[in-house]
Structure 1
Amino acid sequence: MISEIVNSINNVLWGQGQILIYLLIFAGCWFSFKLRFVQLLQFKYMFTVMKGSTQSDKSGISSFQALCTGLSARVGTGNLAGVAMAISLGGSGAVFWMWVIALLGMATGFAESVLGQLYKVRDDNHEFRGGPAYYIRAGLNKPWLAIVFAICLFLGYGLTFSAMQANTIAEALNNTFTIPTQYSGAVIVLLAGSIVIGGMRSIARFAELVVPFMGLAFVGTALIITLMNIQLLPAMFIDIFSSAFGLTEAGAGALGAAIKNGIQRGLYSNEAGAGSVPHAAAGATPVPNHPVAQGYVQMLGVFLDTMVLCSCTAVVILLSDINISGEMEGISMTQNAMTSHFGVGGNYFVAAAITLFAFTSVVANYAYAESNLHLFKLDNKAGRLLYTSVYLIMVFWGASATLKQVWSLADMALGLMTLVNIYAIVLLTPTIVNITQDYLAKLKINDQPSFSLDDVEIQGKTEKDVWPIKSKSSI
């Protein structure tokens, strides 16, 4: 019965109704237009804003830690298993549509992260917390909708997504080393529990150490494979673009599959519009001290995740000699592709990569849901203990669950979150535009623009003492 309900909801959101596919494209186009194509015209500045990004204070983590925490959640099964799923079901053309949704999603990710920063609050430990539930409550004055989002978030990032990541790790280790899935699940629970018990700061420190290392290692490996198969590169790109527009033998049917799977798995990977990354953005003390600074930081995260890392996985698969069956395949497809390039060693590399990629997601997912405990006044020892226990039980269950069970639940949770979040950020567009214009105007005069509430008209109200009332900007 539960399975039927989940499948019915997914059919409306992702299946025949395809509501979310149209909604995500609309949101990306909407914010690209409203923000004057910030992802293109401010592309270079997106990297410049990372100067001084390692600075933080007692209230928040650093911008670099926020970026790494956001990437921890983004860089996971979507990059390795998700890209493989998109290609196996939608062909090589799905890669093009992943790029499209990422490019549009950069503007959406910018918008939601700006709001996460603007409407952040201080929790019982005087540390910053925030996310869609907070800007829905404070900016739109819709507490009931904030609770709906928070419940969907707990179902998704607090429970299902971590189970999904654990499932991918266990599958990869079982395929490579024949380790029983329940053993893998037990080890994941022990390691994750030792990190998440320290809260956001502990998770951010872990992400700061692991994410840059694993990202560079994977990009380096993909570059080696590209150089080994450089003669096949032109044909690969021709195949991607021709398949993306239904110009191959499969025709129109393949076109629909490419668009659907490319966009769906692209969203899984970069999470733009889903309302997850604003939690990491809200936890930071930005440099410069302006909400828009975190918009640029997290926009960079979307770019690195999909345009760089997902493209690396696509290159590994499409330059290999494996057969694309048309049946749903996950991490095993990526492992087979890597094995075709490097022999047995490639299989070991993917097992290690997916273990790291997915494990960082398991840890970061905890932080996102934990940020919403404050909303329910459960930001205390008892509340954290209850949530942590349920979270770890789901991680252990996920390691032995079937792929279809886990991904169906994840599809539903992500879809409902995205539906609520996009509705909210579109309504909050005037605020996003106003504070972005404020930042850009100040940036022309001072390369470290600061924010004050009396400089900009916003919707709703922010929490007291988070942002200054009297302008301290130097314009």
Structure 2
Amino acid sequence: MTSLLNFLDDILWQSILIYFLLGFGLFLTLRTRFVQFRRWRDMFLPFKRDPAADKRGISDWQALAVTLSGRIGVGSLVGVAMSLAAGGPGAIFWMWVISLLGMPLTLVENTLAQLFKTVDQRQQFRGGPAEYMTRGLGMRWMGVLFSVLMMVTVSVIFNALQAKAVIHALSSAFNFNPWYTAITLGIVFTLTLFGGLRAISKVSVWLAPLMSIGYLLLACWIMAENIERLPSVFLLIFRSAFGLQEFAAGALGYGVTLALTQGVQQGLFSNEAGSGSTPHIAALAAAKHPASQGFVQMLGILVDTFVVSSATAMIILSSGLLSAPTDRISGIGLLARAVNASVGVVGPQLLALFVLVFGFTTMIANYLYCENNLLFLQRGKTGSIYLLRVMMLVMLLAGCLIGTPLLVQTASISLALITMINLTALTLLSGLALKVVKDYERQRLMGRLPVFNPDNFPELKGQLQDGVWK
């Protein structure tokens, strides 16, 4: 079983997905004329408060906060540490590259999610990749396949990984009983879910930014303590990315491949560009133009990868631990030692609190992904939502019994499959998405706040849900 999972993981990441992501990201970067650099100010434009916003959706700021809750999870802490231990410092360079190339990709997928969003029985906006696969491509079977895979992957594998990391961190730092911790986490998780979409949005709006700022302050403190090492740290990252560090050891090709694979994999795990997760939340926003949410979600990649994930990398690399033998140190252990070296005895407790909050906010964002896909499968009917919430609790507790290595490898394979399905749909719909983005840019050049008019897109006739775009 382990050999089969290793084989599938290697095939998907090293032979298929890595080239698909890099190639498609580069293609969109050229087609949009480097939109991630050219129109960076538009990432902040939709945050202006609009008193006339559609009450059926959440605000742009709430949508960004919820997606950041999903992005900035345990992967931004433990995942980065694991990538560093497995792929070396060069993995961070390739994480940055795939994130820059992922920005126009996330612009396209979130624009499409907004464009093809629907309204459920409770008159709330819904949507995601399954909707643009169904309405944009006319392939409901693809949407169903994506929804089923996403629900199984997120509800069992991803949430179990977050929960296991939280339980392990709290048990190690505070000597809590793992089972009591798991049950308490499950109860708080379920109570939050039963508050509904508005409650989840409110929790994310203040909790995710607050803890991100706190974690950034911790990283700045550690970097200040090791400021003399920072120039050599950046040099090490770039040298390792191109194999210059490994050249003397005669392992040039292997070193570059390992760094590239680990960096791209961690970049996708972290910023989620192309995986189809953030479009579920982007579709909930009451945007006046589909592309506006696309630009907002580009900002999410900057915050997650270039702030939080990079902060983790700087904490570890500036500590000097990675140059020491790491055979028995990986993941949370490596990060904990790096924090302890600067903070002292309170390091484990402080790190455990960050893991708790980041893991918890990711879990509730994952629930929203599941909820949106369930509503797609049931064509907008909301009767099974409460059953889903109970099932999510049961699967969270059951997932904690599965071994971590098996969960990590299964999550890697599942994420690759989901991303390949989504990237296929994005490739087919990229022309339409870029046309919508150009309409947004045209209105911005005219000095107007972009407003979408479906009458300007006759090719969309019959594909959009009535009454969504007034």
TM-score interval (norm. to shorter): over 0.9
C-alpha separation between the residues in 2 aligned to 1:128 and 1:53?
Answer: 17
Aligned match of 2:469 in 461, 467, 470? 467
Structure 2 letter corresponding to 1:269:
S
Aligned match of 1:225 in 222, 226, 234? 222
Residue 237 (structure 1) aligns with: 234
Q: Does 1:140 align with 2:137?
A: yes
Provide the aligned length of Structure 1 versus Structure 2: 463
Residue 213 (structure 1) aligns with: 210
What secondary structure, in the 3-state scheme, does the structure 2 residue paired with 1:148 have?
helix
Deviations 1:454-474 (Å, cap 9, x if unpaired)?
123555711111113xxxxxx
C-alpha separation between the residues in 1 aligned to 2:458 and 2:97?
Answer: 33
Query: How does the TM-score come out when normalised to structure 1?
Result: 0.93
What secondary structure, in the 3-state scheme, does the structure 2 residue paired with 1:428 have?
helix
Structure 1 letter corresponding to 2:265:
Q
Distance 1:39 1:324, change over 3 A: farther
1:63-74 superposed matches below 5 A: 63-74=60-71
Deviations 1:150-169 (Å, cap 9, x if unpaired)?
01110122221111100110
Structure 1 letter corresponding to 2:37:
L
Q: Which moved more, 1:165-174 or 1:114-123?
A: 165-174
Alpha-carbon offset, residue 184 of structure 1: 1.7
Alpha-carbon offset, residue 8 of structure 1: 4.4
Distance 1:352 1:277, change over 3 A: same
C-alpha contact 2:375 2:382 (8 A) present in aligned 1: no
Residue 12 (structure 2) aligns with: 13
C-alpha separation between the residues in 2 aligned to 1:258 and 1:123?
Answer: 44
C-alpha separation between the residues in 2 aligned to 1:407 and 1:54?
Answer: 44
Structure 2 letter corresponding to 1:389:
V
Residue 400 (structure 2) aligns with: 399
Residue 159 (structure 2) aligns with: 162
What secondary structure, in the 3-state scheme, does the structure 1 residue paired with 2:44 have?
helix
Query: How does the TM-score come out when normalised to structure 2?
Result: 0.94
C-alpha contact 2:155 2:396 (8 A) present in aligned 1: no
Q: CA RMSD in A?
A: 1.9
Distance 1:413 1:131, change over 3 A: same
C-alpha separation between the residues in 1 aligned to 2:239 and 2:120?
Answer: 51
Deviations 1:295-315 (Å, cap 9, x if unpaired)?
011010011100111110001
C-alpha contact 2:120 2:381 (8 A) present in aligned 1: no
Alpha-carbon offset, residue 341 of structure 1: 1.1
Structure 1 letter corresponding to 2:209:
P
Residue 386 (structure 1) aligns with: 387
Structure 2 letter corresponding to 1:300:
L
Alpha-carbon offset, residue 328 of structure 1: 7.4
C-alpha separation between the residues in 2 aligned to 1:407 and 1:306?
Answer: 20
Residue 375 (structure 1) aligns with: 376
Alpha-carbon offset, residue 11 of structure 1: 3.2
What secondary structure, in the 3-state scheme, does the structure 1 residue paired with 2:373 have?
coil
Distance 1:257 1:461, change over 3 A: same
Structure 1 letter corresponding to 2:300:
G
Alpha-carbon offset, residue 208 of structure 1: 0.4
Alpha-carbon offset, residue 379 of structure 1: 5.4
Distance 1:53 1:35, change over 3 A: farther
C-alpha contact 1:49 1:297 (8 A) present in aligned 2: yes
Aligned match of 1:81 in 73, 78, 82? 78
Deviations 1:214-250 (Å, cap 9, x if unpaired)?
1111111111222221111100001000011100135
Q: Does 1:296 align with 2:295?
A: yes
Alpha-carbon offset, residue 380 of structure 1: 5.1
1:144-293 superposed matches below 5 A: 144-249=141-246, 250=249, 251-252=251-252, 253-286=254-287, 289-293=288-292
C-alpha separation between the residues in 2 aligned to 1:462 and 1:263?
Answer: 34
C-alpha contact 2:241 2:256 (8 A) present in aligned 1: yes
Distance 1:398 1:344, change over 3 A: farther
Residue 319 (structure 2) aligns with: 320
Unaligned runs of 5+ in 1: 469-475
Alpha-carbon offset, residue 388 of structure 1: 1.9
Residue 97 (structure 2) aligns with: 100
Alpha-carbon offset, residue 282 of structure 1: 0.1
Deviations 1:239-264 (Å, cap 9, x if unpaired)?
00001110013542221111111110
C-alpha separation between the residues in 2 aligned to 1:269 and 1:55?
Answer: 34
Q: Which moved more, 1:52-61 or 1:169-178?
A: 52-61
Deviations 1:80-128 (Å, cap 9, x if unpaired)?
0110011000011111111011111111111100001000000111100
Structure 2 letter corresponding to 1:395:
L
Residue 30 (structure 1) aligns with: 27
Unaligned runs of 5+ in 2: none
What secondary structure, in the 3-state scheme, does the structure 2 residue paired with 1:268 have?
helix
C-alpha separation between the residues in 2 aligned to 1:333 and 1:58?
Answer: 46
Residue 119 (structure 2) aligns with: 122
Residue 332 (structure 1) aligns with: 333
Alpha-carbon offset, residue 4 of structure 1: 6.1
Q: Which moved more, 1:81-90 or 1:252-261?
A: 252-261
C-alpha separation between the residues in 1 aligned to 2:156 and 2:37?
Answer: 36
C-alpha contact 2:160 2:399 (8 A) present in aligned 1: yes
Q: Which moved more, 1:353-362 or 1:23-32?
A: 23-32
C-alpha separation between the residues in 2 aligned to 1:48 and 1:327?
Answer: 47
Residue 473 (structure 1) aligns with: none
Structure 1 letter corresponding to 2:77:
L
Aligned match of 2:45 in 39, 42, 48? 48
C-alpha separation between the residues in 2 aligned to 1:399 and 1:217?
Answer: 28
C-alpha contact 1:113 1:295 (8 A) present in aligned 2: yes
Alpha-carbon offset, residue 55 of structure 1: 7.8
Residue 416 (structure 1) aligns with: 417
C-alpha separation between the residues in 1 aligned to 2:52 and 2:154?
Answer: 28
